[in-house]
Amino acid sequence: MTTFDTIVGIVLIVSVVYSIFKGMVREIFSLIAYFGGYFAALRFQGDASAHVQKVLANATAARIVSFILIFFCVSILISFIGKGVRALLKSSGGLSAIDRVMGGLIGLLKGLVLAIIVLAPLELFPDLYRSLTKGSMIAPSLEAISRTMRGNVSANNGFLDKLPNISMQGMEEKLNQAKDLGKITDTLKLKAREFSVSDGKPQDEYTKDDKKQLDKMLKSLNKE
């Protein structure tokens, strides 16, 4: 057993003991918080790192910071929801034995997820990662689970492709499109005034080119 295995074992034991005292309901939400934070960090760290790089020039450091920030923000939000549900369901008595046992089992799973989450940023440093996990009996299993989880958030998997694009880059593009739409609208109004009052042409004297130009602007507006 390596030092890495010992550390992971301690994390699992502490997680189980802690979860036994906290109970099942709260630990379910805690586990969901870990999963949600991890999946969100994997999915959106690329978009976020592009903005973090405005402060941190190093691309690897920017991805790590983005991963950590997204993970903690999502996890904290879900944890607060869990505390609210726990408060609503909590009875006047103490936790039942079943509640504690189930909490312990969930704690074991939560400890495994936590270990996998810690491995994610370490994999960005291959030499350090190999030195820490060399000869480990637990690391291969954690890596297998991690690959499965990553597969679920892969772009080729198709699940996240069905979600709305809420990346920061996408929001900027939508804002730019809105600005372009405003410009087109202003141009259309100006041309409409020119057609109606500027040169005093009767309606039937407009050329085909004038009408084609107006049709072109209307089609551009519809596309936007």
Q: How far is residue 68's CA from residue 70's CA, in Å, rounded to a whole number? A: 6
Q: Are residues 153 and 186 in the same domain?
A: no
Q: Are residues 158 and 174 in the same domain?
A: no
Residue 211 has pLDDT above 70, yes or no: no
Q: Are residues 81 and 190 in the same domain?
A: no
The owner of tokens 């049709």 is 215
Q: Are residues 32 and 137 in the same domain?
A: yes
DSSP state for residue 171 in the 8-state scheme: H
DSSP state for residue 198 in the 8-state scheme: I
Asked whether 217 and 191 are in contact (CB, 8 A), the reply is yes
Asked whether 133 and 4 are in contact (CB, 8 A), the reply is yes
Q: Are residues 88 and 134 in the same domain?
A: yes
Neighbouring C-alpha atoms within 13 Å toward the C-beta of 215: 6
Domain boundary among 117, 135, 163: 163
Per the structure block, which two tokens stand in for 204?
């039937």
3-state secondary structure (DSSP) of residue 9: helix
Q: How far is residue 84's CA from residue 26's CA, in Å, rounded to a whole number? A: 9
**Count of structural domains, the chain:** 2
List the one residue out of 69, 68, 85 whose CA is nearest residue 30. Answer: 85
pTM of the entire predicted model? 0.47
- Phi-psi bin for 2: left (phi > 0), alpha (psi -120 to 50), beta? beta
Q: Are residues 156 and 182 in the same domain?
A: no
Q: What is the share, in percent, of the chain residues with pLDDT greater than 90?
A: 1
Domain boundary among 114, 136, 163: 163
Is the sign of the CA dihedral 84, 85, 91, 95 positive or negative?
A: negative
Q: How far is CA 9 from the centre of its chain?
A: 29
Q: Are residues 95 and 186 in the same domain?
A: no
Q: Output 55-62 pairs: Cβ under 8 A, ≥24 positions apart.
A: 60/124, 60/125
Q: Are residues 68 and 156 in the same domain?
A: yes
Domain boundary among 134, 163, 192: 163
Q: Give me the pLDDT at residue 181, please.
A: 58
What amino acid is encoded at 181 in this protein?
Answer: L
Domain that holds residue 185: 169-223
Q: Are residues 202 and 217 in the same domain?
A: yes
Per the structure block, which two tokens stand in for 111?
């400890």
Q: Are residues 77 and 174 in the same domain?
A: no
Q: Are residues 150 and 66 in the same domain?
A: yes
Q: Are residues 217 and 107 in the same domain?
A: no
Q: Please, which pLDDT band fits residue 221 given cuts at 50, 70 and 90?
A: low
Q: Give the tens place of pLDDT for each residue, 84-96.
A: 777 776 655 555 6
Q: Give the tens place of pLDDT for each residue, 29-62.
A: 888 888 888 888 888 888 888 888 888 878 888 8
Q: Give the tens place of pLDDT for each residue, 85-126.
A: 777 766 555 556 777 788 888 888 888 888 888 787 777 777
Q: How far is residue 142's CA from residue 126's CA, in Å, rounded to a whole number? A: 16
